[in-house]
Chain A
Amino acid sequence: MITIPKWTDGPVPRTTTARRRPPSRALPRAVALTVALLALVGVAALSLGEPTLGPVRALGALLDAGDPAHVVVADVRLPRALLGAGCGAALAVSGLLLQDSLRNPVAGPELLGVSAGAAVVMTAVVVLGLQVPLALAPYAALLGALVAGAMVLLAIGATRDPEHVLLVGAAVSAAGAGLVVALVGLGTEGDVVLLFRYLLGSLAARGWPHLEAVAPWIGLGLLAAALLRSRVATLALGDEVATGLGVPVVRTRVLALVVAALLAAASAAVCGPVAYVALLAPHVARRLVGTGTRRTFWVAPLVGAALLVAADLVCRLVLYPVEVPVGVATTLVGVPALLLALAGRRGR
């Protein structure tokens, strides 16, 4: 029924003279590299700390319930590493969706009000002494994050203008940050701990219940992002080009925002507003496999996971026995890395 123009049946010309990095091979290579990196960081996260175990010993203790180190490896370090990996992946994909669908390289979930929404709820729970059982705390934070995200999405309406999305998101985030400060002001000195446990972004003292609470949301979000990725890729070329390619632009952008908000909310619910992972991981992924959401989707979550697990590991060890909130580390690493990336981009 569809007539194919005749030139499409012709022989395939060899156009490329210097194929330094054919995309077909760059992607599997980057995936292998980042998986290896993540595995390495993961084993380190299981092994290091107090007590420090060799990697073989740590993996052995994980499987052997009779090992004295089994509890610390299997019930403390493993869920924490998995949570770091899951949240890192969620943040990375959230940032990727936002950056490509809004055509803004510095867009991130911070600008959707999602992190602020979760922070407001968690602060309120602690400062006002609300009776929320520990097991339900992640859900409360998730609710706050989703409400804030929904507010931004409703305020935007069916806009065609990506700039508008960022402005509304920044306004809601600022309002959330103000609320957090106001709530902390109501509290006592004892509540300062909250700052370290949650508001700066932390993975300390998280375990299987936290992981169980958010894993389904993260899984759902990643699956939805996988289905959206090639549509989102076309949005990066401009709304008219995307429409010309047959993509429903407004619907795709709204879906991308919803999925990004869901992923960021799941992450913020358990580990607070971890800064810069969402911003940085997509840029690292683009360095590895080039632009195009269809490919970067496979690499960005692995990068984000490795980043967050590694940052958490460093925070756990550097001032032992005191833990530095992981959000501090991601900020300290994220800002110079981002500046370097921007400088390198302009220089070439």
Chain B
Amino acid sequence: MTASTPRPPTPPSAAPSIAPSAASSAASAVSADGAPPPAPGPSLEAVDLSVGYRRDDVLSGLSLAVEPGTVTALVGPNGSGKSTLLTTLARVQRPRAGEVRLRGRALGDWSSVEVARQLALLPQSAVAPAGATVRELVEQGRYPQLGPWAMLRRRDDAAMERALSLAGVGALADRRLDSLSGGERQRAWIAMALAQETDLLLLDEPTTYLDVRHQIDLMDLVGRLRDEHAMTVVMVLHDLNQAARYADRVVALRGGRIIADGPPAAVVTAEVLREVFEVEARVVEDPVTGRPLFLAL
């Protein structure tokens, strides 16, 4: 509430900053002089979570608390359960045991629409309807806020415009999704999630299939959502160096358990890499960001 009026960012695609290092290392300082986190305690919490398909447990007895206003990266080899953890946190998957708490209350105690008003998920399975435009996609993000007759009202339009602008796809609003590049399309999906107007954003491998430039743009956007809009982001990342560079906290999973958890410097180490990914690597300090950078041996 005390926040000075947040200026919507100038068209972000116009001038992506070339050296985001200063911004991202000063991230904690920036969020400190912004509004204090709205609710004390973790915004999203997994307590003793077990999730499985058929007989096998994908996650077993996993606990994780996500602090508000932070970016958390989930990393791990294929089949480590990181995507399952993300979808379970978003109530898409039901846990076999344990529970997920949103603002301290079990997910089951919220209605599904109440959850969707506080937590947006962008899964990998997202399908763009044939011929849909960016605006038509983003409009779907308003579903949890719609009234009983499901008509779009003025505040829905306003939320959509803000989401389009924040994700940097305002100029593409009336373009068809199938005419966009992979990076633009991914931003359109992010705009759809932003239109939900949630504090929490869960992303499943948002940078996969994107070229380097679009990967950087997307990660910068995630940083801005945290710094300028006090959002809490949890994302599954394939690229460990990306996780080390952009996340406040890295959680490494293997076999459905958390092997290492902490700030990048504590998690991206030669020992953890060996244990989690079975990779022999040397970890050096990234000369640009000062974050850890791993090089496979």
- Which residues of A are at the interface with B, using a C-beta cutoff of 8 A? 2-21, 23-24, 100, 103, 105, 229-231, 233-234, 236-241, 243-248, 286, 290-292, 294, 345, 348
Contact = CB atoms under 8 A, between A and B. Distances in A.
B8 interface: yes
A229 B140 CA distance: 12
Interface string B126-146: 111111110111011101101
A343 B152 CA distance: 32
B114 to A, nearest CB: 8
Contacts, number: 161
Given A234-B140, A245-B141, A247-B143, A5 B8 contact: no
A61 to B, nearest CB: 39
Contact of A7 (B120, B150, B166, B170): B166
Interface stretch (B49-57, B74-82, B196-204, B255-263): B196-204
A105 B141 CA distance: 22
A8 B162 contact: yes
Given A240-B92, A244-B92, A292-B140, A13 B199 contact: no
A245 B127 contact: no
B113 interface: yes
A292 B123 contact: no
B116 interface: yes
A7 to B, nearest CB: 4
B127 A290 contact: no
Nearest to B154: A12
B7 to A, nearest CB: 7
Interface string B168-192: 0011011010010000000000001
B4 to A, nearest CB: 10
Nearest to A292: B136
B123 A238 contact: yes
Nearest to B176: A348
Contacts of B129: 100, 103, 236-237, 291-292
Nearest to A6: B3
B140 A233 contact: yes
Contacts of B116: 244-246
Contact of A294 (B5, B113, B150): B150
15 contacts: A2-B114, A6-B3, A8-B197, A15-B164, A15-B165, A105-B130, A230-B146, A237-B140, A238-B123, A239-B125, A244-B116, A244-B121, A245-B144, A246-B116, A291-B129
Contacts of A103: 127, 129
A13 B161 contact: yes
A237 B197 contact: no
Interface string B89-127: 011100000000000000000011111111111110111
A294 B228 CA distance: 33
Contact of B125 (A3, A7, A240): A240
A237 B90 CA distance: 16
Interface string B1-44: 00101111000000000000000000000000001001100000
